[in-house]
Structure 1
Amino acid sequence: MPHVPTDLLDRIRALEREVALLRGRTQIRPALDQVLNGTVHIGEGGTLDVTSPGGAQLLGVGRFSTGRYGVAMAREDGSGVAVEVGGNSVDAGQMVRLYARGSYPASPIVMDDGYADGYLGRPWVPLPLTTGVDVSSPTERTTHFALMHVQHRILSTSINVYAPADTTIRVQLRLSGPNGYEDIGAPIVAVGGTSGQEISDAQRIKIDRAHGERWRLLVRASRTAGTGTGTVYPFGLWGVNTVAPSEA
């Protein structure tokens, strides 16, 4: 039997121990509950999902079913998404939306505008106005006045105008700006005819002012024909969200 040096046997035994130790460590599942001084990267279309013990999804980050990417946070009770950034919609930008319980996905209660960047979408904000005002002068005058803090891209108007018989009443909205007042929206004309006329006019008017600016909004009216006394009374003016790219 050939002579084997003792130190070589010791080295072989030491290598065997190290191999056994390495084999054991490869079977140990590493802890995944902490990331210290590092980053976690999820790419290639991956997602991160956090669910409650009952299975309700509380947090989803990454790819939605339509292929778009975003973030969704929901409530533990399963009543639906509470906050969403982006989402499944492919016809609007990466909106930020806040939902009441059970209102997802149709009715967000707070959101930015999907087409007009930098503007509020919801909630809609009313502009304060006074009550109905009589009109009996051929000279145009202001019947209603509002101070607009621009938050939305669109102004939704609902104004009624009454003209008695043989009288015509014309109403025009005007908005102040850097270069003075300008007409906005279409004029509203009530023609009294033989027995009088009351019309209800509703418009969606694009506001060409930056978000956060403050401008004066006037309702101007005049009697353009006849001798009777008409009345102008706005039902309301609201700042609202856009519904198509053409309104942005």
Structure 2
Amino acid sequence: MPYVPQDLLDRVASLEREVRQLRGRAQMRPALNQVLAGDVVIGEGGQLIAKTPGGQRTFVVGQTPQGDWGVGLARESGAAALTVGDDVNSADAQMIRMWSRGGEIIVMDDAYADGYLGRPYVPIPMAPGVNIASDTDTPLYSGHMVVQHKVLSVNGQIVGPAGTAIRVWLTLDGTELAAWTLSSSATVTEINQRIPLSATDHPHSSTAVAVIWAQRTAGTGTGTVRVRGLWGMNTITESEAT
């Protein structure tokens, strides 16, 4: 038997051990619970989703099944909490929505009018004025407003004695936006109207003075104009945004 140096056998045994280690490590799946000094990129479709042990989705980011891109946060129950984009209707122009625990939208931007607030609704402060017994233009309610919504919602009532006609109208910075009348054949008229604002004349964050006027146009006696509320609200149709 030829002589084999002992150190050569030791080297062969050492190489065998290293090969076995490399083979074992090649079959191990690396830990995927950390990303250090790098980015995770989700592109060309797909989503990153986090779920509770019970299967409730609490976080999602990426491309929705409807084709738009968005981010969603949900509570442990799976109820929506905050969404950017919409995984139900991709026509909603990447709206931001914040949801209450009861499932109601409490904060959002406007779906159709870019740059305007959708919710919460904002009341326009109105100061009471006088009753109407004159045929002259009389300012009844006035308020200084900061434009946040694309639409004003007016609710009120005109009351007058039989045979008396009254005209009521709303101006914004002196421009008439809407008018309502109590005819001489009636004693009560209800007011409930949505009034889209001009994006050119009243962009978001601009200021304006809202005034509700009244004038008796026929008959005699004293009428009363009750303004129950003047609110800024979101659009509900695309035509209100133009």
Same fold (TM over 0.5): yes
Tell me the alpha carbon deviations over residues 24-54 of structure 1, each in whole angstroms, 9 at most, x when there is no partner.
2211211212212211111221111111223
Cα distance in 2 for residues equivalent to 1:42 and 1:95:
21
Cα distance in 2 for residues equivalent to 1:18 and 1:115:
66
Change (3 A) 1:233 1:203: same
Tell me the alpha carbon deviations over residues 110-149 of structure 1, each in whole angstroms, 9 at most, x when there is no partner.
1111111111111111122245741111110210011111
> Residue 209 of structure 2 aligns with which residue?
216
1:132 touches 1:233 (CA, 8 Å); kept in 2? no
Aligned residue identity for 1:85: V
Cα distance in 2 for residues equivalent to 1:94 and 1:8:
70
> Residue 189 of structure 2 aligns with which residue?
199
Cα distance in 1 for residues equivalent to 2:41 and 2:113:
32
Q: Is 2:181 the counterpart of 1:189?
A: yes
> Residue 4 of structure 2 aligns with which residue?
none
> Residue 148 of structure 2 aligns with which residue?
151
SS at match of 2:92: coil
Q: Is 2:161 the counterpart of 1:164?
A: yes
> Residue 45 of structure 1 aligns with which residue?
45
Q: Is 2:230 the counterpart of 1:229?
A: no
Cα distance in 2 for residues equivalent to 1:161 and 1:91:
40
SS at match of 1:223: strand
> Residue 84 of structure 2 aligns with which residue?
85
* Structure 1 length-normalised TM: 0.85
Tell me the alpha carbon deviations over residues 190-241 of structure 1, each in whole angstroms, 9 at most, x when there is no partner.
1122xx4210021111122111122110001111222222111111111111
Unaligned 5+ runs, structure 1: 1-6
Q: Is 2:106 the counterpart of 1:109?
A: yes
Q: Is 2:239 the counterpart of 1:246?
A: yes
SS at match of 1:91: helix
Aligned residue identity for 1:81: A
Cα distance in 1 for residues equivalent to 2:238 and 2:12:
76
Cα distance in 2 for residues equivalent to 1:188 and 1:133:
18
> Residue 64 of structure 2 aligns with which residue?
64
* Structure 2 length-normalised TM: 0.87
Cα distance in 2 for residues equivalent to 1:183 and 1:221:
12
2:50 touches 2:59 (CA, 8 Å); kept in 1? yes
SS at match of 2:24: helix
Q: Is 2:119 the counterpart of 1:129?
A: no
% same residue: 47
1:133 touches 1:233 (CA, 8 Å); kept in 2? no
Cα distance in 1 for residues equivalent to 2:130 and 2:63:
55
Aligned residue identity for 1:84: T
Cα distance in 1 for residues equivalent to 2:160 and 2:112:
39
Cα distance in 1 for residues equivalent to 2:184 and 2:129:
18
Cα distance in 2 for residues equivalent to 1:36 and 1:235:
59
Q: Is 2:133 the counterpart of 1:140?
A: no
Cα distance in 1 for residues equivalent to 2:125 and 2:44:
51
Change (3 A) 1:132 1:197: farther
Q: How many residues align?
A: 237
Once the two structures are TM-superposed, the CA of residue 64 in structure 1 deviates from its matched residue by: 2.4
Aligned residue identity for 2:193: Q
